[in-house]
A and B are shown apart, each in its own frame.
Chain A
Amino acid sequence: MPQPAVSTHQLTKHYGRIRALENLTLDIPEGSVFGILGPNGSGKTTTLGMLLDVLNPTKGTFLWFGSEPGPENRRKTGSLLETPCFYPYLSAIVNLKIIAEIKKSGFDRIDEVLKTVGLYERRNSPYRTFSLGMKQRLALAAALLCDPPLLILDEPTNGLDPIGIAEIRDIITAVSRQGKTVILASHLLDEVQKVCSHFCILDKGVLVYTGPVSDASDSEQRVEVGATDMELLKKTVVTYPYLIRYEEGNATITATIPADKVSEFSGHITRKGIIITHFVILRKSLEKQFLAILNDQP
């Protein structure tokens, strides 16, 4: 089994009586785009803050590529946590020079990353003159500066226009295609679904789900069926051996069945001599999955 890029063991953070994160044990596979999902205040930023040594864990440990965490690891990580933070009186270039010095990475990539995020023309303007979207772009440039094997992004699309959001998505995809690991915290499910290969869900500081994105959306399938004889249809659906659950709609029944049983399911119905008037495979979105997982919580 390949070594995880980051693995945490019972990572816990309490702020006085507030339990921001509780016993998080998680492996983030190397080369994955790992989404951390959760409603506001679920512990996403707290987790990343501890990984980046700006928060001291109350309890627990974590490893980077199998070794103890330290400044060397952070130098090889591009990170963007919450709002972008730069020296407002310094230009984009000087701000990036400071970061390059911190990361011991040399200045030769500065122009390149500024072009990547579309700020090259404004490279000599002071940071304070930037719009929110430009600030976010500069933060992304800083994260990409040392060509890091690991990228940690917390709500990277905050404050960006639709074009910017699409560009971020392209950058993440390009980075992960080079075999690099990306950790992406977000409350936007759509964002995670589009780019992530793995995800976990945090709720009130507790890990409630972790797994590959495909598992979550493919293991179950919802099918909407309608027929001329609804009574018989219902009887047939209820007796279907692989049925997970069903809901009765107005003129349809929505059945949740294993994803690989869809055609067998339709065969099961037609064999009973029922004439199907309506058969729709509902695309299962991560959002429904997300809400379902959260609703299953006690």
Chain B
Amino acid sequence: MKRLFAIEWYKLKNHSPFWIFAGLHILILLLIYMSAKFFLDFLAGKGEMINEVIDPSVIPIFGFPDIWHNMTYIAGFLKIIPAIYVIISVCNEISYGTMRQNIMNGMSRVEFMQSKFFLILILSLSVTLFLLVAGLTLGFIYTREIEMHSIVKYSGFLAAYFLQVTVYQLIAFLLALLIKRTGLAMGLLILYTYIVEPIVVFRIKTEWIKGLFPLKAINNLIRLPFGKYMLRETQDYVALQDLGIVLAYAVLFIYLIILVLRKRDL
């Protein structure tokens, strides 16, 4: 295991696109979190319409415990970034011929898959860790009265976020293996994520069927949190049923990845 991690880390640490993607990801997250507060203050200064309902500047979006739900929900929009890096990495292995070479040198096909799982794990863990640190920092700044139980409450959303980005990267891995070309695989992932599935899901009326589509299922782990500030009913927990569907998808994608790797002539 340590060996496969070491192999993947050698490939990763000298690959400049990895650092560019990581930097970009963190920069965008920071910008969003920093600007959100300004945006709310800006809203507070505008028109009475909003102010009649609630004063936006007192909304505790960055206070414990709400911060975990809010942050992870926002971060969910950027899960395309690590997924694209996974596509670049896997497609490069194919076009450089290094996947084939690794196997000739004595990796098993399953070990190759495991080494890429380490890549996915590194990406998911580091962004989750970033959210943890950023969340604690912002939380301590913006919470008026800090209590231990409120810090921990809702922190399960971090785990949900970890699962969300991980499973999304599994989709990217599978797609990269099937398509083999970086640009095409990226295009298809973006097309499916932002156009195909949203349209299909939009046309379906029944809620539980919507939840069966992979992206919808992944996104359902962390549902829109902001409704509660407008006194609407909001699901502020990860439903077991949503978790089950996502885990089932994870198993399916891993199975398909093994299948493709086993059957293919490299």
Interface of B is mostly: helix
A61-B184 Cα distance, complex, nearest whole Å: 37
A56-B103 Cα distance, complex, nearest whole Å: 13
A211-B265 Cα distance, complex, nearest whole Å: 30
B11 and A72: CB pair below 8 A? no
A87 and B96: CB pair below 8 A? yes
Instruction: Pick from B97, B103, B109, B264: contact of A52, CB below 8 A.
Output: B103
Instruction: Pick from B98, B100, B108, B265: contact of A71, CB below 8 A.
Output: B108
Query: Knowing A54-B266, A71-B111 touch, does A88 contact B106 (C-beta < 8 A)?
Result: no
- A102: chain B residues at CB < 8 Å are 3, 7, 102, 105-107
Query: Knowing A89-B14, A94-B14, A102-B7 touch, does A75 contact B103 (C-beta < 8 A)?
Result: no
Does A99 sit at the interface, judged by CB under 8 A?
yes
B105 and A79: CB pair below 8 A? yes
A225-B163 Cα distance, complex, nearest whole Å: 85
A97 and B106: CB pair below 8 A? no
Does A188 sit at the interface, judged by CB under 8 A?
no
A103 and B105: CB pair below 8 A? yes
B6 and A85: CB pair below 8 A? no
- A98: chain B residues at CB < 8 Å are 7, 10-11, 102
Does B16 sit at the interface, judged by CB under 8 A?
yes
B96 and A88: CB pair below 8 A? yes
Does B203 sit at the interface, judged by CB under 8 A?
no
Does B101 sit at the interface, judged by CB under 8 A?
yes
- B107: chain A residues at CB < 8 Å are 71, 102
Does A86 sit at the interface, judged by CB under 8 A?
yes
A55 and B105: CB pair below 8 A? no
- B265: chain A residues at CB < 8 Å are 49, 54-56
- B97: chain A residues at CB < 8 Å are 83, 85
B100 and A74: CB pair below 8 A? no
Provide 17 A-B residue pairs closer than 8 Å at the C-beta atoms, listed in order of the A residue: A49-B265, A52-B104, A53-B104, A55-B265, A55-B266, A56-B264, A56-B265, A71-B108, A72-B106, A85-B100, A87-B96, A97-B10, A98-B7, A101-B10, A102-B102, A102-B106, A102-B107
A residues contacting B by CB (< 8 A) are 49, 52-56, 70-72, 74-77, 79, 81, 83, 85-90, 94, 97-99, 101-104, 142
B residues contacting A by CB (< 8 A) are 3, 6-7, 10-11, 14-16, 96-98, 100-109, 111, 263-266
